[in-house]
Amino acid sequence: MGATNRSFQGELVFVKILQRPLPSEPFSLSSDMHPVLQRIYLARGLKHDDELKLELSKIVPISRLKGVTQAAELLFQTLQQKKPILIVGDYDADGATSTALAMLALSAFGADEVSYLVPNRFEFGYGLTPEIVELAALKNPGLLITVDNGISSLEGVERANELGIAVLITDHHLPAEQLPAATVIVNPNQPDDPFSSKHLAGVGVIFYVMAALANRLRSAGWFIKQRLKEPNPADWLDLVALGTISDLVPLDHNNRVLVSQGLRRIRAGSCRPGIRALIEVAKRSPSNIVASDIGFAVGPRLNAAGRLDDMGLGIDCLLTESERAARKMAQALDQLNQTRRSIEMAMKSQAQSALEQLHLHTEGELPAGLCLYDKSWHQGVIGILASRIKEQYHRPVIAFADGGEGIIKGSARSINGLHMHDLLAGIATRYPGMVIRFGGHAMAAGLSLPTALFPQFKSAFEQAATELLEPAMLEGVVFTDGELMSSELNLTLAQALRDGGPWGQGYPEPLFEGTFYLQQQRVVGENHLKLQLSSEENGWTIDAIAFNQPKLSEPARQLRLTYRLDVNDFRGQRSPQLIVETIQSVS
């Protein structure tokens, strides 16, 4: 236990280091398992080997998802009647993969006419709004399918009903008290749903729906009658893995199965050309891909389309069968991501200046919740900005950008212990008319409100955060899995840790702590610190890298680090390497 300075894009942030506690309850994990892995699994709440089995047969049965049988029947009837189907998606990676999966599945099932529509976030905002329904109606669809949205679209569904258009909602966001009057709703978080995996991403929900439809079509002899090759829904799991990891939903056992199966297919080369192209442009190896590569390198490039331009580019990249076209679109997405990073850096600098002034005005104490707005900020990047500020100051954050017509749009990120959706619901109830609309999860949400009411909302948000958060919850904490012996810093354990996942939200990648002697340091790449370390004064050395960390000025001879043990594959040479998270000088 201790405290350290954590690197945050070159800045030092004070955080507390705690070791994850091990449960005292009995467990039955295999004794043949590496003791370090056993310790890691126990610290994540696993108690028996079954929880480590990630075969596709281990997913929660399709039939347990409320509404999925009715959804399959509705889709079956729509296919039989040859009605046009329009998919209404969302402009993030989860929405893009959900849209692509639905398009591919319905086309494989023999749909005569299937197309998609993703609202431009700068013109229409989020979800199935009445305006989007009017736009969709121009295509004369027989069925609208929402993916990764729709559960809060009361007015949009009402307008579709008025126009005689059936609506199938597939979503995973938390519902309000009133549900839309859709023909069918599939959402594991709707009331009275017995489905045990409440953390499905939007792409996970539509995967279940399409798997249910495949079963319904098979039982009706559809593929034989239509002379169609029967598709295998498992072939779409590469999309499920990409969307699930990118959306940062907790990796419960069900999601770990879906992600693991998708990653296996990517490694084997059985994935969409667009996914392969995105991996390559991110300079990762498809054959060695892990969840963190998707989360930190692939997902952001796909998300860049929806943040800065039109997610149609990302969806088309996922849909194309052409390797050449996929590479061209992946390169365009990579360029957009570079632009996004430049915008983000400028916005973050502005936010820092605003927080410094706030810090001065409040006698050294920041509010429990941070609410920021700048008219010049980019709508598509405020979510990332909110995440960065949250990480740095360990507080819930809402960043707002101008939405036009007297409206500002915000993206919220929360910390452990504060349910953002519930907080916003409380403000909306306490101050009617202040929040125009909102929706999201416990850890992330989106909202809009009149520009003129920003000062009042800011005060209400700060007050609500103060009421809901204890002072100790505002301290930055890094949890580790303890120390490793020098003999354990080897390639065998590093590979075992990579293979032991998939790691992600709610199932964190193993993080260790230890004291090392600094032998050498140098800056590589854009701004990454390459270290050569030893566990003894002049002993065996190991390489380490700290991303976005400038060179240490006047470094101590010894450093206390938190780190991940990983495999460095450089020019065909594989070796263990430490990925440094925090650095503290040892006096």
Rounded average pLDDT over 21-31: 77
Please check whether residue 253 lies inside any domain of the structure.
no
Across 81-191, the runs of DSSP E, i.e. the strands, are 85-88, 114-117, 143-147, 166-170, 184-186
Task: Note the pLDDT of residue 60.
Answer: 97
d(CA 92, CA 315) in angstroms, rounded, equals: 10
Whole-number percent of the chain with pLDDT over 90: 68
Token readout for 73 is 């029947």
Q: Residue 222 domain-assigned?
A: yes
Residue 553 has a pLDDT of 78
- What pLDDT is attached to residue 2? 44
- For the chain, what is the mean pLDDT? 90
Mean pLDDT of 451-457: 96
Question: Does residue 240 lie within any of the structural domains?
Answer: no
pLDDT tens by residue, 270-305 = 999 999 999 999 999 999 999 999 998 999 999 888
Query: Which residues, 6 or more positions from 250, have their beta carbon under 8 angstroms from its beta carbon?
Result: 199, 504, 505, 506, 507
Residue 571 pLDDT > 90: no
For residue range 327-364, list pLDDT tens digits in order: 999 999 999 998 988 888 888 888 877 777 665 454 45
475, 505, 530 - which closes a domain: 475
Q: Are residues 536 and 453 in the same domain?
A: no
Q: Looking at the domain assignment, is residue 384 inside a domain?
A: yes
Res 3: pLDDT = 44
Task: Detail the DSSP E strand segments found in 370-493.
Answer: 370-373, 397-404, 407-413, 437-440, 444-450, 477-480
Question: Per-residue confidence at 451, pLDDT binned at 50, 70, 90?
Answer: very high
583: number of Cβ within 10 Å: 24
What pTM, to 2 d.p., does this model score?
0.87
Q: Do 73 and 22 sit in the same domain of this protein?
A: no
For 435-522, where are the alpha helices, taking DSSP H only?
Answer: 454-468, 491-499
pLDDT in tens, 215-252: 999 999 999 999 999 999 999 999 999 999 999 899 99
CATH number of the domain residue 225 falls in: 3.90.1640.30
Q: Phi and psi dihedrals of 580, rounded to 5? A: -80, 130
What is the domain extent for residue 99? Answer: 60-229
- Distance CA(125)–CA(519), nearest Å, equals 52
Examine residue 271 and state whether it is found in any structural domain, yes or no.
no
Q: Are residues 64 and 179 in the same domain?
A: yes
* Residue 210 banded pLDDT, cuts 50, 70, 90: very high
In angstroms, the CA 203 to CA 93 distance is 9
The reply to whether 278 falls in a domain is no
Closest by CA position to 483, among listed 565, 377, 575 = 565
For residue 45, which amino acid is it?
A: G
